[in-house]
Structure 1
Amino acid sequence: MARELQEVTRTYGAGSPEWASVQCDLGNVLLNSDQPARAVDCYRAACSGPMPGDPEAHKDRLTYRMNLGMVLGRLGRLDEAETELRANAQERLAFYGREHPGYAFGLEPLADVQLRRGDLRAARESVEEAIQNFWRSGHERLATALALRATIVTAAGGDEPAFVTLEQLPDEVVENVALAVLNRTGEHPETDGAVLSLLAEAMEARLGPDHQATLNALSQLANHGRDGHGVDRVAAIRKVLASYHRQGMREEALMAELGLAMAQSDAGDLDGALRTYAEALVRAQSLGRADLVSQVLRNWGLALSEAELPDEAERCLREALSAAEDSGDPETLGRVRIALGLFLQHQERLEEARQIVEAGLSTLDVAHPDALVGRGHLGAIMEGRSCGCGDMPEVIAAAFREFVLGRLPRDLLDDLEVDLKDGDFAVNVRLRREPAEDELEELDRVMRAATAEFRRRVAER
């Protein structure tokens, strides 16, 4: 994209509509590469100069400015974001007119930034105008605007319904409202739990307790509660489990039972969790899937270990290992080996633990989260310690290095130094020889893949 920008600058000149278009494209690339601050510079450049007289170029400029405002909001620069988005909405009003959905497109992100700034009255005015516009035009963005409205109404408190007019909408649009709410989860953590709870109630009332939109809302609600937000995870999962039972979805019911057991354990009901694992094992055995049997036994064994029942825990974990060997699935086998190895480490049976953890690492991808945990514990085992995860940043950096080296020609790299600081990677590459063009492209591809994969792993920790 940088080369394209240079070429377009030579051909059409800086400030031309063609140049602005490439600036926006480069901004999109940077944004999707987790470099939003650099993307802002590109979007701002795309918006520079007088407004183009050509209608198509004019419309493009409106998009560039909306992108600029939205990314400023993503960076937390909310005052700047509102300034840009408010100006963009006015420009859209002048260009499209009040009845055109192109105007409402600018109101929706403006309402979102106003919500984040705490100006709920202004946010409500903006989103309601967008909803009326999309409703009149029958535009599909009505669903996302209704989802945003639900967050604004919930943040304001009171008894006003968060979800309205659902009975007047086709099922497809209602489903899209639910999807839009789920996609917004995490953007406003202080209201997520309440909005998800209200969404689950609304979907059950409008679409029924067994509709996938209802189940998705309940599942997301349970996941939200896993982060300690006070949501009744057990109740949400029980509703999902009951639905799967009614529909005869046996494998899905098994997964829900495993989630229920974890929720019970996190809530302090360890006895209830152990009973749920026993029921889940019966279900897994009835399905005739060795990998599922292994998964249940592994989780059950870890719960028994937490309950300080080491004999029962070891028996479960070894049965899980036997089932994993029968399954023929390398990931299942690796995960059980890591779990058993860590259990043995905590029992101070270090030599046996070392052998099993090393065997587990041999069947797991280097970036697998269980492999990272196993590597950290293996370092402690090698130091003669019965617990401790070692230096996890160092472990992750070493795994990053192995990920890259395993995917490139052995004679290409002289050295690869990787350091993890503040949640991101600093990488220094030294080459043994001049790479061919295809090797250079492959090196770039592998490095980008490694960075994306391990950033995700760090975020999940």
Structure 2
Amino acid sequence: MKLDPARYARLSALLDEALELDASARAALLDALRGEDATLAAELAALLAADAAPQPLIDAPLVLPLTAGTSMHVAGERVGPFRLVRELGRGGMGVVWLAERDDREVRQQVALKLIHPELDSAFARHRLRRERAILARLEHPHIAHLVDVGVDARGSPWLALEYVSGEPITDHATRRRLPLARRIGLLIDVCRAVQFAHARLIVHHDLKPSNVFVDAHGAVKLLDFGVAALLDPAADAGDAAGPGVASGVTPAYAAPEQLRGEPATVASDIYALGLVLFELLTEARPWPPGQRPRDPAQAPPQASRMVDAARRRALRGDLDAILAKALAPRAADRYASAETLAEDLQRHLTRHPVLAHRTSRGYRARKFLQRHRLGSLAALAIAAAVLVGAAAALWQARIANRQAQRAEAVRNLLVSMFSIADPDLNRGREVTAAELLGEAARRAALAPGSDPLLAADIDATLGTLARRIGDYPTAQQRLRAAEAALAGAGDAAAPALLQVRLDLADALRLNGDPKAARELLAGLAAQLARTPPPVHAQALATQARVLAQLGELEQAERDANAALKLDEASGGAAAIVRDRNILADLSYARGDFAGAVQRFEQVLAAQRALHGDTHTAVAQAQQDLGVALAGAGRYDEAIAALASAHALYVRLLGTEHPAVASVLVNWGGALRQSGQLDAAEPKYRAALALDEKQLGADHPQTLLALNSLATVLTQRNRDAEAQALFERVLAGNRRVLGERNGQLVPTLISLGGLAFRRGDYAGAVARYREALAIADAALGPGNPTSDIARRGLGYTLAMSGDPDAGLPLLREAWEHHRARHGERHPEVIIFGSSLAQVLAGTGKLDEAWALARSTHAAALAILPAQHPFRAHAGVVLARIELLRGDLDAAGALVADLRAAHAVDYAAHAAAELELLDLQVRAARGDRDARMQLRERGAALRAQLPPLLRTQR
């Protein structure tokens, strides 16, 4: 008989539960199941009988019989980089092995999860890939993290998880006879891990003692997200189990709504936490196995009634109330979050009033007296102590209530802000992400109360949201407000304060202030050395990005490699991919386009292994690869990769998402670099229209699209249109970022280039000087952006007739860039050919020739024939060969340039090449060329900059 997935999942969950019970409890479970579903009970009984029979390792699996001849995994077999050691357990569709990686540099044990060979199916693979995607989002010290992923020899996916050597939390507590406070402390740690998952819209769905281990060091680890649910309704489409108990959940730990077949929610996990807490406190379940009431609305018994008299007093009161609230039959009556449950347990441990208890003045006074027994011993002081105690307890209860309300307040605020998207309120007008964020900020400012931690939570959340949608000034403002609130909140807020400061450093970087970001990170160095490795790795990764922006590529690479080493040892798969992505970006920044392509291909493969083929992370990786391919001159592949990224973004996000506009800009860039200017312009215009609609006219992404459109218009010799667009970009950046922000520099450089093209050398010099001053101030002297401005300024001064002023600037920029990037980098090539051109114009022919030859050789090695920088290097070398009298070399270079049709490096490029061609041919004795040179030479020279007009 073939089981449908929902029935199979329930049978598998029942089997897992039954295998944990003794013989009498199993019998009770089967009896109860027969009254509900006799067929399912018979199937479960058969499986239990099969499991009890002695079987060799390669015999039948726990769920379905193997087909004869099916290959099983065996000890010693290699799966990816791991060697299987021994089987740890089976359940559902999977088999978990202890496996080892031993590659000399890294020795690591993992729990390797494989699909059972007989049960390998599209459904099973979907479930494992889904678990992989969920685990990639969970990096927490109390959650067993994802180590690696891959595909085995049969093409089935596998997961390598952190191996936890320990035992279930209830067994650990019982065997070690842990005191009550220690048991509660363990459950608080579990709550924190569950809250971390909930904050990422993930519900565990199957919390039970066997999925919560305690390791050899006494730390809890949450396991098995194999049936976890995503709170995003679209993300779990197709996974519904149908009527009856929710798919995959263990019935003994299911919430009432799950028993009714309803989807799992945060409240369902709260209920399961309550059941685990019940077992920890009583060493028994609320109901005997198989005897849970059929009515899901029936509340469990009080824990204090399930224990002996010695323990009853400790459970009666607060703990009974906490359990009653966590195990309320109605989901709405339970704790709002795992965090509020943890906080209430913490309040009980510190003898503060708990929220679950119906507070009265007498109750609050008793809690005060419990905390301050010594102060109430004198009989004459009892009345005063009660009065003062009641007042103090009232104050502390209010604090406790505010703490419990913080998470709820943040959630309510972020939910309420979406009310402006109500079509009845906005009359059908589409609402942008920026408008939603602005509404949230407005409501936060109007929110009553002055709890600084609540304000910090809201500001930090809004800052993170602003950073993600690209509103970096708002992100910076909100994160600074959160930082100020947390800085005065004491040691308890230190972890949150550190995270806010790391987020602020990234926002500063994105907002064009990497110097401030570096200073902030430097101030955190001592604290980071004492933080858990994943946090330290995050800081190193952020610092690597900051240093890359400042041009310190070698140190950036050291930091990125250090982050990767930490994450490979103790981080999660998502963090490892992040680090590798940064290293790929650094390869691109160094001009190592082949290395960048290779690294981005690895990132793309890793994202596909983590998320499958249809995920926004895969689309982003395709986009990054496309940009690197374009840098390497592999334009057809680049355009194909970017088109694929665009199609995937549209499929996942629709046509109106800002991510679609981002890939359109890069797609247009690849088309532009390949010379397809007519095809590039519509891509830029489509991106610009989308960004303006969704993000607003002054958003950084909108201004980038506008800048890209202006660039292609410049290449199409539509300088007046380009000038107007560049001016709009500059004005927008000044409005948003201020007058001296580093983000203004690229646009100022572009405007300087346009002024040079039209012969306005004074205007060009002014733009370049402003760009250089801002870049030096914002990014520090010697940074790559300053050198680009310095090259533009030096070249303009020299070409306009002042080579003595321009030559030192050109030489400095070239030397800095060559030291930074090496010889074979596009910018080093244009810097070198510019310097050689000016050297030749000032009579330094030997130095000019040597530099021009090496520069041209580098251009031939890394740039395609149509690239404007390669064309400029060829023209400069041809001119110098002509000046040296080597007509053959000059002629060959001119012929190559004409064949490539690449003459768009400057407005005067066509005139310069035509004049050079006539001069070479005339020098070889071509009478027709001599005649044309006499007739047209003056007109051609008039189109050149002053320094070039005098060259023969």
Give the TM-score, by structure 2 length. 0.24
Indicate the structure (1 or 2) with the bigger Cα radius of gyration. Answer: 2
> Greater helix share, 1 or 2?
1
Q: Which of structures 1 and 2 has the larger relative contact order (alpha carbons within 8 angstroms, sep 6+)?
A: 2
Q: Give the TM-score of the pair, scaled to structure 1.
A: 0.45
